Amino acid sequence: MKKIITTLAALAVSTSAALAAGGDYEVTDYAFPFEGPFGTYDQNQLQRGLKVYTEICSACHGLKYVAFRTLASPAGPGFTDAQMKAYAEQYEVFDGSLNFGEGDFRTATATDNFPANNSVGAPDLSLMAKARAGFHGPYGLGTNQLFRGMGGPEYIASLLMGYTGEEMEQAGTVLYENTAFPGGWISMAPVIYGDDVVFDDGAPTDAESIAKDVSAFLMWTAEPKLAARKQTGLIAVIMLGLLAVLLYFTNKAIWAPVKAHARYGTHVDPAE
C-alpha cells in the first residue's frame, strides 16, 4: 500500500510539472448543455452549429466521417427527412461507378458522407472534438477533462476566440497569435468576428455564441451517441449498485452460521 501511495504521489507531481511546463495556452471552461452525467445535446444549437460550419468552416474543412442521414437523427440536429435530403443536395460527391467506371461527380444523397475538403490542407473536423479532448495534461491524459469537465468543445471554442490580432511571417507563411493554441501561433486566420451568420431562431450572433454553437456541433460529429452512452452507463452503475447490495446480504447470510460457531463454539447447520 505504501508503494502504491508513493507511486500515485510521484505521478501527481510529474503531472503537475508537465502541466506547468506546457501551460503556455489558455482554454476557457465554457458551459455546454451536453456536459455532466445527464447532459444532452440541444437540437437548436446543433442546427445553428451546422449552419456555421456550412457557411464558414466548410470552405476549408471537411466532415468525411459524418453521413448526411445522421442529420435526421433524433439524437442529433433532428432534421426531417425532407430537410436532410435538401441539405445533402447542396453538395456533390465523387462516384467511381459513373462515366463507364472512370468516376464523376454527382449530387449527394442521404446515404453519402460529407465530402472531404483537402483544398488547403486543413484538417478534417469530423473527430476534432474527440481528438482534442486530451489536449491538457501530459501525454493526452486529459486531467482537466476528468476533474473539471473540460474537453474538445472548450478547446475549439477557445481557439476560435483566442486571436489577439497580432501577426508575423515565418518562412513565407503568415502566422496569427492565438492564446489557446499550443505555441501561441497558428496558420489559420481568424474566421469568426460576430454577426457572421443569421439564425432563424433569433439566437445571439456574437462571436462567442457562434463559436460555442459550432463547437457543440463538432462535439456531436465526434460523439453522436453521447446521450445513449451516458444512459447505458447510468443503467450499468445502478445495476452494479444493486448487485453489490445483494452480494453483501448474500455474503452475510452464507457466513452467519460460521461466524456464530466461531463466536459461541456451537455448531449451526446452514440448512436450518
Residues 6+ apart with CB under 8 A from 176: 163, 166, 167, 185, 186, 187, 188, 189, 190
Most confident of the ranges 35-39, 120-124, 230-234, 253-257: 120-124
> Of 60, 52, 41, 57, nearest to 194 (Cα)?
52
Beta carbons of 96 and 156 less than 8 angstroms apart:
no
Residue 255: inside a domain? yes
Residue 4: inside a domain? no
The 8 Å CB, 24+ separation contacts for 133-138 are: 135/27, 135/182, 136/19, 136/27, 137/15, 137/18, 137/19, 138/14, 138/15, 138/18, 138/19, 138/22
Beta carbons of 111 and 67 less than 8 angstroms apart:
yes
Q: Give residue 5's pLDDT.
A: 42
Q: Give residue 64's pLDDT.
A: 95
Whole-angstrom Cα distance, residue 69 to residue 83?
10
Residue 159: inside a domain? no
Q: Give residue 264's pLDDT.
A: 66
Residue 262: inside a domain? yes
- Residue pLDDT, tens place only, 14-24: 333 333 334 56
Task: Read off the pLDDT of each residue in 246-253 and give the average, rounded to a whole number.
Answer: 91
Per cent of the chain over pLDDT 70 is 82
Q: Average model confidence (pLDDT) for the chain? A: 84
Residue 96: inside a domain? no
Q: 18-27, 29-38, 129-138: lowest mean pLDDT where?
A: 18-27
Residue 181: inside a domain? no
Q: Give residue 99's pLDDT.
A: 82
Q: Give residue 7's pLDDT.
A: 43
Residues 6+ apart with CB under 8 A from 69: 84, 110, 111
Residue 176: inside a domain? no
pLDDT band at 142 (very low <50, low <70, confident <90, very high): low
Q: Give residue 20's pLDDT.
A: 36
How many domains, the chain?
1
Q: Give residue 231's pLDDT.
A: 84
Task: Read off the pLDDT of each residue in 155-181 and give the average, rounded to a whole number.
Answer: 93
- Residue pLDDT, tens place only, 41-97: 999 999 999 999 999 999 999 999 999 999 999 999 999 999 999 999 999 998 888
Residue 238: inside a domain? yes
Whole-angstrom Cα distance, residue 154 to residue 148?
11
Domain span at residue 264?
A: 225-272
Q: Give residue 9's pLDDT.
A: 43
> Of 233, 231, 217, nearest to 42 (Cα)?
217
Beta carbons of 216 and 153 less than 8 angstroms apart:
yes
Instruction: Please determine, for residue 197, whether its predicted confidence score (pLDDT) is greater than 90.
Output: yes
DSSP designation for 258: H
Instruction: Please determine, for residue 269, whether its predicted confidence score (pLDDT) is greater than 90.
Output: no
SS (H, E, C) 89-122: CCCEEEECCCCCCCCEEEECCCCCECCCCCCCCC
Q: Give residue 25's pLDDT.
A: 74
Q: Give residue 15's pLDDT.
A: 38
Q: 34-38, 51-55, 157-161: lowest mean pLDDT where?
A: 34-38
- pTM score of the predicted model: 0.78
